[in-house]
Amino acid sequence: KMVLWASSDLKTIVRAIKLSRLMHLIRPLGDGRFQFVLGGPASQLRTTRRYGVAMAKMIPMLLSCRSWRLMATITTRSGRPMQLQLSSDDGLRSPVQPAEEFDSEIEAELITKWNDKPIPGWTIHRESELLVEHQRVYLPDFLVEHESGKRIHIEILGFWTPEYIQAKLR
């Protein structure tokens, strides 16, 4: 079992989790952080070592991210449980390059224009909030937040089709 807490690079983390093909539960913690609980189907029924390799394969991608912490329960060959704790503050580096900051020139241009003429009372955050409903996860490109608490999610659409728009709206 692995439990991961993160507040940055959420897109990279979700991608790593999905690529691992592990069962996962995502919980928003309400303070900009998310908790990810990972395991496999058999681990729900009994203690198993079956999913350790899938979890270990996530770590190089995770090491290229910021602001995360994980705790994993590892069962040794002798059956003895051990705990692994690791965080972005531990100073480990990965050969995996961090993800590009922007997916498109349009996104980069939006941030440049925003920074050139900020709107008083508003701040903009890049891919900072996961929208989670049941097993669906959506990560809007931007969150614009007013000091009053009003929040607006922005998704940049480049090339699109009517089907793509419908999928995004769902």
Tokens 């900051």, located at residue:
101
The answer, yes or no, to whether residue 78 has pLDDT greater than 70, is yes
Q: 40 near 52, Cβ under 8 Å?
A: no
pTM of the model: 0.69
User: Which tokens is 78 given?
Assistant: 């002798």
Question: Half-sphere exposure of 113 toward its Cβ, with a 13 Å CA cutoff?
Answer: 6
Strand ranges of the sheet holding 34-39, from the earlier edge strand across to the other edge:
23-28, 34-39, 2-6, 68-75, 81-87
Is pLDDT above 80 for 150? yes
Q: Residue 113's pLDDT is what?
A: 92
Residue that has been written with the tokens 């008083």 in this structure: 120
Reply yes or no on whether the pLDDT at 100 is more than 80: no
Separation CA 141–CA 129 (nearest Å): 9
